[in-house]
Amino acid sequence: MNEETEQLEKDEYSATLLILGDELEPKDLTEKLGIEPNQSWRKGELKFPDSDSVYETGGWKCFIPAEQEDLELEEQINWWCETLGGKASIMQLLEEKDFRLEMNCFATNAFQIPPDVLEQLSKLRLILTVFIY
């Protein structure tokens, strides 16, 4: 098997932290979490410069760092749980303000998430959303 074939057959996973909410203020959320998002927007902002399309809700999205991208999905989720571990009370307050807190995942193959990792997600009030492609 050549390198190109191996690359095509390699399983790929991605875990992204996504927070949505009508009252979301990206700068405030960034300060509270101590993490810079890759993308953020307020409700009503234009999606594209020359467009009439606006965001229906505010959003804050942070991708897994490049050095973590090759990890299995369980390990990526675990990395996020460790990174956010001291922020459980902040996450709970966000949920109480009706923000949607997601661990947004993509996978190219089947995977397993053990109970202890699911428990960590639960403590952080994160909904596990998975897309398999």
Q: List, in sequence order, every beta strand (DSSP E) within the chain.
A: 13-21, 39-41, 58-62, 100-107, 127-132
Closest by Cα among 59, 30, 31, 62 to 45: 59
pLDDT score at 3 = 53
pLDDT score at 51 = 83
pLDDT score at 70 = 93
With a cut of 70, which residues of the chain have pLDDT below it?
Answer: 1-9
CB 100 within 8 A of CB 19: yes
pLDDT score at 71 = 93
pLDDT score at 5 = 45
pTM above 0.75, yes or no: yes
